[in-house]
Structure 1
């Protein structure tokens, strides 16, 4: 035995291994678990010269994984103007006035996180407020859901958008009664302006990625499924992985929406040490908050509007089958019920035609579904990659958008699981906070941090404590073909685990609101340790 062996001891270790669900110590060497059991068993496996780490009263669980998130987006959110929870347009303008230098990409001022639902009147903003403060500086502000942007007149001018510019396919350029663009762009219309923004420098990109990965480790994530990674970010992480400096495990989905998909198709599935890419992500529709989610029937609060399909059904099917034939797992974003009907059709038909049912194709979000589509999704054993905190963020206004009848199949985790779907839980950060403990709490309670509403929002769709924990461990492992290596704590598996201040299985759900991550371990290496 060598000094490279380490024994971790804690008040309790939940293994999620049915043969031995609880332990008190782990023995680790060379990135793998040598033993999981009593302290005596761990010490015997590690040898007399092993280092010993006493985690005190902590609860240890298998490595927590966010099954749907955006690493570069989180890094960008952490380093540009943050507009989350801004209560008014004026507050947004005040934050922009104090923008740090890192908020500029070229001479463009960038920000992210505004949500008109938080403002008096809940109406979309306009360009005039931005023009008054920033007449010559182009401003691009991403909505909290990343499916709408608020820009000023200079940004529109540089992008060549005028009153005569038509809506692009799958997008909307909002215009006022006078026909002039208001400054709000929905879904594919954002691309027209984003094309005019200079690319981030290499230094900017690396700073953002490092900030995001550090934040992930702090909140207890040992891995992230990145839902649509651009090529520049992927190449950067490839270099870090080859050098052994990538701290977390990243299951990257190729960005299938733009022209970069051709490079990914040519490369094919790829596997590194901590980084892999064997999946692709497409967008079928927009988001509910910006009324871009594609619905079968009109929005309850905007008659005549049914949302947007971001690719034609024919193009989505063609792209999906091309990647399936190349050996990629296909993951498709679907929020609205019309989008989910389309996506289930595309995945089932494509898997049959290409013979790729074993590739565990995924519906990303699976947010609003007709009950018959839930049954089809579950019967096929597709992955439902869902985000618990989306429900608790959207619940104050979701019924206004959809009405009560459509909510019967919305954010329906219990119904999805009971149908036979494989649940993989995530946050969709930076749209939501990356705090995985908040996700565990929302999955169990369907309440906000203050305990509202009493009893939970549509509480019949709650998950049990064990199901919630499995959703962030076992579920993502299965959804990324790693169930033989991760998701549980068993001898021979990867030494990925997290130490928490509260017990997420037997402790009260409310304790998760103020719980802390004490340590995050990936492949036996501590990538985060709380002070004190």
Structure 2
């Protein structure tokens, strides 16, 4: 009996030390919880895709047991990063066309097109990504060289910002553009009465709606390739910034096939088909795809002089840019979104567009203070209008690498006074709103989150230009930057109760980075060592 009692006691003691079963334990880690208090921990226990507990090493290892234990080797652990403004389907299509990014001259563009065509022999050539500012050219190009190289094959080349397109005469004939063609919200540029081949903003639609997309299978395969690249960068959430219905349908198919591992928060362009989808489905959730917002494009891009400005461009004294939708149409869409309880995220780059949209929201949404409507880009804001972000409750959703890319020509376009007072003013916007959201606008910029960190904190490109930083007074600190990519980005898509920080009960969306997450005067490349979505390892470079 004595021995039996002793055995029972030993059994009870060992039972006490047997931890509760969980699916995954991460330990020996520098866990950045990214809650409001910026607390840290050493270990995480995960079960059924959610965080069970975060705490000290010994506490987690004593309390829980798992067949899958990850020694994080003291690496930095964060909530999976958000890219709060990207274009997944646009990048997918870009990868299926001629890549013209980082071309150093018009002649290099022609060379890439000729090399592509010699292999593909396509009936229509599509290219994306050129930027004449990299060619030491201030003005947009004309199509003379393009016509000589491709006199009979229609060619359409979209600028890096997506708001300008260069086409040859064969493409004009293909889509029916003539000297008399006009379009609301767009410009078909002429010089000395002659068509130049440049289309701006809605004029691009004349081409895009009359040329074939890649096949659905090609686009889906390309999206899945990009998904792998994003997960390898530690990005677990994408805010897809503007979808036509055909692209939404592709994402829905991928979601239904359980092919999406990355979380996608999709913004619908307010087309007739998309509005009908919103009316029929309301807030839509399908595995990793969610839809409850519209994207309204109020003006064009600064690089192509399409951003709508209060005063004319400094280098184009008769040009104020383009308002792509009338104030009446903007109000109509906003009222519809409010009725449907849909968020609206408005592309506003110029100070005139920002002023208009901020004032409309300030009036319309006073009875819904937690609306979380966003201004996307907010690149040029009149200093007098900064306070409207606070009074209207609008969230600034910006892309720090736009600042460091545009620094080559921004002062030339808008002048020193506007540049230093309300341009790329991320610190000012943050102080007004109390939070700020960061993305990249890929494929216009690269999706590398560490380029975003460097641009936000140091105000430099990944090439460390300019050496003293671009408008450095508008830099934000590293903690603010990391919140803008995690907790606040989650708030900006109504997800802060589910993700954005590593707290008990939230989804186990986690990125462990190979190198220390920091910001120094010189750019430091970094990437994910391990990426986890809802408790499942989706990228592993161990």
Contact 2:395 2:433 in 1 (8 A): no
Superposed, which structure 2 residues align to 1:111-510 within 5 Å?
111-166=127-182, 168-177=183-192, 179-256=193-270, 260-352=274-366, 355-407=367-419, 408-504=421-517, 507-510=518-521
Instruction: Give me the whole-angstrom Cα distance separating, in 1, the residues matched to 2:21 and 2:156.
Output: 53
Instruction: Give me the whole-angstrom Cα distance separating, in 1, the residues matched to 2:262 and 2:205.
Output: 30
**Aligned to 1:357, what secondary structure does the other structure show?**
coil
Contact 2:358 2:389 in 1 (8 A): yes
Instruction: Give me the whole-angstrom Cα distance separating, in 1, the residues matched to 2:468 and 2:29.
Output: 31
Instruction: Give me the whole-angstrom Cα distance separating, in 2, the residues matched to 1:527 and 1:102.
Output: 35
Residue-by-residue CA offset, 1:474-493 (whole Å, 9 max, x unaligned): 11111011111111111211
**Aligned to 1:245, what secondary structure does the other structure show?**
coil
Structure 2 runs not aligned, ≥5 long: 1-18
Instruction: Give me the whole-angstrom Cα distance separating, in 2, the residues matched to 1:10 and 1:332.
Output: 43
Contact 1:5 1:46 in 2 (8 A): no
TM-superposed deviation, 1:171? 0.9
Instruction: Give me the whole-angstrom Cα distance separating, in 1, the residues matched to 2:493 and 2:119.
Output: 34
TM-superposed deviation, 1:241? 2.3
Instruction: Give me the whole-angstrom Cα distance separating, in 2, the residues matched to 1:519 and 1:94.
Output: 39
Contact 2:232 2:527 in 1 (8 A): no
**Aligned to 2:316, what secondary structure does the other structure show?**
coil
Q: Assess, with a 3 A threshold, how the Cα gap between structure 1 residues 356 and 271 changes in structure 2: closer, same or farther.
A: farther
Which of 5-14 and 284-293 deviates more? Answer: 5-14
Q: TM-score, normalised by structure 2?
A: 0.92
Q: Which has the greater radius of gyration?
A: 2
Corresponding residue for 1:74? 91
Residue-by-residue CA offset, 1:209-243 (whole Å, 9 max, x unaligned): 21222221122110000111222222222233233
Q: Assess, with a 3 A threshold, how the Cα gap between structure 1 residues 3 and 111 changes in structure 2: closer, same or farther.
A: farther
Contact 1:521 1:527 in 2 (8 A): yes
Corresponding residue for 1:60? 77
TM-superposed deviation, 1:372? 1.9
TM-superposed deviation, 1:194? 1.3
**Alpha-carbon RMSD:** 2.1
Q: Does 1:83 align with 2:100?
A: yes
Contact 1:389 1:427 in 2 (8 A): yes
